[in-house]
Amino acid sequence: MSSCPDLRLDWCSYEAAKYAVEHWHYSRSMPAFKTARVGVWENGVFVGAILFGVGANSNIHSPFRLQRHEACELVRVALRDHRNAVSRMVAIAIRLLRRQSPGLRLIVSYADTAQDHYGGIYQAGGWIYTGLTSAGKLYLVRGKWVHQRQASSLLGSIKGVSSRMSSEKHRYLMPLDDDIKRRIAPLAKPYPKRPTRGTGETDSAPGSNRETGGASPTVPLLPEGDD
Protein backbone atom coordinates (compact mmCIF):
# COMPACT_ATOMS: atom_id res chain seq x y z
CA MET A 1 0.00 0.00 0.00
CA SER A 2 1.38 3.42 -0.91
CA SER A 3 2.15 5.82 1.90
CA CYS A 4 -0.02 8.87 2.49
CA PRO A 5 1.28 12.20 1.20
CA ASP A 6 2.76 14.84 3.49
CA LEU A 7 -0.02 16.49 5.51
CA ARG A 8 -0.02 20.03 6.88
CA LEU A 9 -2.78 21.96 8.64
CA ASP A 10 -2.64 25.64 9.53
CA TRP A 11 -4.92 28.63 9.82
CA CYS A 12 -6.18 29.78 6.43
CA SER A 13 -7.82 32.86 4.97
CA TYR A 14 -11.57 33.39 4.76
CA GLU A 15 -11.29 33.32 0.96
CA ALA A 16 -9.60 29.91 0.96
CA ALA A 17 -12.17 28.44 3.35
CA LYS A 18 -15.01 29.91 1.31
CA TYR A 19 -13.62 28.37 -1.87
CA ALA A 20 -13.38 24.96 -0.17
CA VAL A 21 -16.92 25.12 1.20
CA GLU A 22 -18.50 26.32 -2.04
CA HIS A 23 -16.72 23.69 -4.16
CA TRP A 24 -16.23 20.68 -1.88
CA HIS A 25 -18.99 20.70 0.75
CA TYR A 26 -22.51 19.50 0.01
CA SER A 27 -24.08 22.65 1.53
CA ARG A 28 -22.16 24.95 -0.87
CA SER A 29 -22.77 27.55 1.84
CA MET A 30 -20.34 29.43 4.09
CA PRO A 31 -21.65 29.95 7.65
CA ALA A 32 -22.90 33.49 8.28
CA PHE A 33 -21.37 33.58 11.77
CA LYS A 34 -17.73 33.99 12.75
CA THR A 35 -15.60 30.87 12.27
CA ALA A 36 -12.14 29.56 13.09
CA ARG A 37 -10.76 28.26 9.78
CA VAL A 38 -8.10 25.56 9.42
CA GLY A 39 -6.68 24.85 5.96
CA VAL A 40 -5.49 21.42 4.84
CA TRP A 41 -2.55 20.78 2.48
CA GLU A 42 -1.21 17.52 1.06
CA ASN A 43 2.26 17.72 -0.51
CA GLY A 44 1.86 21.50 -0.57
CA VAL A 45 -1.46 21.39 -2.44
CA PHE A 46 -4.53 22.94 -0.82
CA VAL A 47 -7.17 20.22 -0.45
CA GLY A 48 -9.75 21.86 1.78
CA ALA A 49 -10.68 23.40 5.09
CA ILE A 50 -12.14 22.51 8.47
CA LEU A 51 -14.29 25.17 10.16
CA PHE A 52 -15.36 25.62 13.77
CA GLY A 53 -17.94 28.08 15.10
CA VAL A 54 -20.99 28.61 17.30
CA GLY A 55 -23.21 26.91 14.73
CA ALA A 56 -26.92 27.24 14.04
CA ASN A 57 -27.71 26.74 17.73
CA SER A 58 -26.26 29.60 19.78
CA ASN A 59 -27.18 27.71 22.98
CA ILE A 60 -25.16 24.63 22.09
CA HIS A 61 -23.35 24.90 25.44
CA SER A 62 -26.45 24.99 27.65
CA PRO A 63 -27.35 21.26 27.92
CA PHE A 64 -23.86 20.53 29.25
CA ARG A 65 -23.80 23.27 31.92
CA LEU A 66 -21.03 25.13 30.13
CA GLN A 67 -20.36 28.78 29.45
CA ARG A 68 -20.82 30.02 25.88
CA HIS A 69 -17.05 30.21 25.22
CA GLU A 70 -16.49 26.64 26.47
CA ALA A 71 -18.30 24.86 23.60
CA CYS A 72 -18.32 25.13 19.82
CA GLU A 73 -19.44 23.20 16.77
CA LEU A 74 -17.41 21.61 14.00
CA VAL A 75 -19.48 23.26 11.27
CA ARG A 76 -17.77 22.27 7.99
CA VAL A 77 -15.36 19.61 6.75
CA ALA A 78 -14.88 20.67 3.13
CA LEU A 79 -12.34 18.53 1.25
CA ARG A 80 -11.57 17.65 -2.33
CA ASP A 81 -10.12 14.21 -3.18
CA HIS A 82 -7.40 13.46 -0.64
CA ARG A 83 -5.27 10.62 0.66
CA ASN A 84 -5.00 11.13 4.43
CA ALA A 85 -7.76 10.00 6.78
CA VAL A 86 -10.28 12.71 7.60
CA SER A 87 -10.26 11.71 11.29
CA ARG A 88 -6.53 12.48 11.38
CA MET A 89 -7.13 15.89 9.79
CA VAL A 90 -9.90 16.69 12.27
CA ALA A 91 -7.74 15.62 15.22
CA ILE A 92 -4.93 17.96 14.13
CA ALA A 93 -7.40 20.80 13.54
CA ILE A 94 -8.75 20.32 17.07
CA ARG A 95 -5.22 20.54 18.50
CA LEU A 96 -4.73 23.86 16.68
CA LEU A 97 -8.07 25.12 17.98
CA ARG A 98 -7.28 24.14 21.57
CA ARG A 99 -4.00 26.04 21.48
CA GLN A 100 -5.85 29.11 20.25
CA SER A 101 -8.80 28.70 22.66
CA PRO A 102 -7.50 27.15 25.91
CA GLY A 103 -10.88 27.59 27.63
CA LEU A 104 -12.67 25.34 25.13
CA ARG A 105 -14.03 22.16 26.74
CA LEU A 106 -16.42 20.55 24.26
CA ILE A 107 -16.88 20.27 20.49
CA VAL A 108 -20.18 19.18 18.95
CA SER A 109 -20.73 17.97 15.40
CA TYR A 110 -23.57 16.55 13.35
CA ALA A 111 -23.93 14.01 10.52
CA ASP A 112 -26.86 14.72 8.20
CA THR A 113 -29.09 11.71 7.55
CA ALA A 114 -30.46 13.42 4.42
CA GLN A 115 -26.97 13.08 2.91
CA ASP A 116 -26.66 9.43 4.01
CA HIS A 117 -24.09 10.55 6.56
CA TYR A 118 -23.74 8.52 9.72
CA GLY A 119 -20.60 9.98 11.30
CA GLY A 120 -17.88 7.61 10.13
CA ILE A 121 -15.15 10.22 10.58
CA TYR A 122 -16.29 10.87 14.17
CA GLN A 123 -16.47 7.19 14.98
CA ALA A 124 -12.92 6.76 13.70
CA GLY A 125 -11.85 9.67 15.90
CA GLY A 126 -13.43 8.28 19.07
CA TRP A 127 -16.19 10.90 19.42
CA ILE A 128 -19.13 10.12 21.72
CA TYR A 129 -22.43 9.47 19.92
CA THR A 130 -25.59 10.71 21.65
CA GLY A 131 -28.34 9.92 19.14
CA LEU A 132 -30.49 11.75 16.61
CA THR A 133 -31.53 15.37 16.91
CA SER A 134 -35.10 16.47 16.28
CA ALA A 135 -35.95 17.95 12.91
CA GLY A 136 -35.69 21.74 12.78
CA LYS A 137 -36.78 24.45 10.38
CA LEU A 138 -34.91 25.67 7.31
CA TYR A 139 -35.52 28.87 5.33
CA LEU A 140 -34.94 29.51 1.63
CA VAL A 141 -32.46 32.39 1.30
CA ARG A 142 -30.91 33.29 -2.05
CA GLY A 143 -31.60 29.84 -3.44
CA LYS A 144 -30.19 27.94 -0.43
CA TRP A 145 -31.86 26.31 2.57
CA VAL A 146 -30.32 27.65 5.79
CA HIS A 147 -31.08 27.52 9.51
CA GLN A 148 -33.11 30.27 11.17
CA ARG A 149 -30.08 31.92 12.75
CA GLN A 150 -28.29 32.24 9.43
CA ALA A 151 -31.47 33.35 7.65
CA SER A 152 -32.07 36.06 10.23
CA SER A 153 -28.46 37.20 9.95
CA LEU A 154 -28.70 37.48 6.18
CA LEU A 155 -32.20 38.96 5.89
CA GLY A 156 -32.87 40.68 9.20
CA SER A 157 -36.46 39.37 9.17
CA ILE A 158 -37.69 35.94 8.10
CA LYS A 159 -41.37 36.87 7.98
CA GLY A 160 -42.90 35.44 4.81
CA VAL A 161 -39.76 33.51 3.83
CA SER A 162 -40.36 30.01 2.44
CA SER A 163 -39.53 27.31 4.96
CA ARG A 164 -39.44 23.55 5.37
CA MET A 165 -38.46 21.03 8.03
CA SER A 166 -34.87 19.82 8.09
CA SER A 167 -33.75 16.22 8.35
CA GLU A 168 -32.70 14.50 11.56
CA LYS A 169 -28.98 14.54 12.33
CA HIS A 170 -26.67 12.25 14.25
CA ARG A 171 -24.99 14.16 17.08
CA TYR A 172 -21.41 13.52 18.18
CA LEU A 173 -19.49 15.06 21.09
CA MET A 174 -15.74 15.46 21.61
CA PRO A 175 -14.93 16.21 25.28
CA LEU A 176 -11.67 18.08 25.81
CA ASP A 177 -11.13 17.39 29.52
CA ASP A 178 -11.87 14.56 31.96
CA ASP A 179 -14.65 16.40 33.80
CA ILE A 180 -16.66 16.96 30.61
CA LYS A 181 -15.98 13.39 29.53
CA ARG A 182 -17.48 12.09 32.78
CA ARG A 183 -20.38 14.52 32.49
CA ILE A 184 -21.45 13.34 29.02
CA ALA A 185 -20.59 9.63 29.44
CA PRO A 186 -24.18 8.73 30.48
CA LEU A 187 -25.42 10.16 27.15
CA ALA A 188 -23.39 7.72 25.05
CA LYS A 189 -25.22 5.40 22.66
CA PRO A 190 -23.98 2.69 20.27
CA TYR A 191 -22.59 4.07 17.01
CA PRO A 192 -25.02 4.02 14.07
CA LYS A 193 -24.11 1.80 11.14
CA ARG A 194 -23.27 3.04 7.68
CA PRO A 195 -26.40 3.35 5.49
CA THR A 196 -26.75 0.72 2.77
CA ARG A 197 -28.76 2.88 0.36
CA GLY A 198 -26.03 5.43 -0.44
CA THR A 199 -22.33 6.14 -0.41
CA GLY A 200 -22.46 8.03 2.88
CA GLU A 201 -19.12 9.23 4.07
CA THR A 202 -15.95 7.31 4.89
CA ASP A 203 -12.91 8.18 6.94
CA SER A 204 -10.64 8.44 3.91
CA ALA A 205 -12.57 10.18 1.13
CA PRO A 206 -16.11 11.35 1.93
CA GLY A 207 -18.23 11.16 -1.20
CA SER A 208 -20.14 14.31 -0.26
CA ASN A 209 -16.92 16.30 -0.30
CA ARG A 210 -15.49 15.24 -3.65
CA GLU A 211 -14.47 18.04 -5.96
CA THR A 212 -17.26 19.18 -8.25
CA GLY A 213 -15.21 21.34 -10.58
CA GLY A 214 -12.83 24.27 -10.59
CA ALA A 215 -9.14 24.57 -9.94
CA SER A 216 -7.39 24.91 -6.61
CA PRO A 217 -7.64 28.49 -5.32
CA THR A 218 -4.87 30.94 -6.10
CA VAL A 219 -6.03 33.47 -3.49
CA PRO A 220 -3.73 33.77 -0.43
CA LEU A 221 -3.83 30.59 1.62
CA LEU A 222 -1.53 31.59 4.44
CA PRO A 223 -2.92 32.13 7.95
CA GLU A 224 -4.41 35.52 8.61
CA GLY A 225 -6.59 37.25 11.16
CA ASP A 226 -10.36 36.99 11.27
CA ASP A 227 -12.26 38.89 8.67
Q: What angle do CA 82, 215, 91 make, to 5 degrees?
A: 30
CATH architecture, domain defined by 7-133+168-209: 3-Layer(aba) Sandwich (3.40)
Rounded Cα distance between 126 and 135, Å, is 25
Rounded Cα distance between 6 and 18, Å, is 23
Rounded Cα distance between 128 and 38, Å, is 23
Give the chain's count of helices (H) and strands (E): 5, 10
Is 37 exposed, middle or buried (CB count within 10 Å of its CB: 0-12, 13-18, 19+)? buried
Please, which pLDDT band fits residue 197 given cuts at 50, 70 and 90?
low
Report CA 127 to chain centroid distance, whole Å.
Answer: 13
Q: Which residues pair with 40 in a beta bridge?
A: 9, 48
Least reliable range by pLDDT among 45-54, 67-76, 156-165, 179-188: 156-165
Rounded Cα distance between 105 and 39, Å, is 22
Query: 3-class DSSP state for residue 26?
Result: coil
pLDDT tens sequence across 138-180: 777 777 666 566 677 777 777 877 776 667 889 999 999 999 9
Q: Shortest CA distance to 149 belongs to which of 160, 137, 135, 165? A: 137
Check residue 213 and give its pLDDT: 26
- How much is the average pLDDT of 191-203? 69
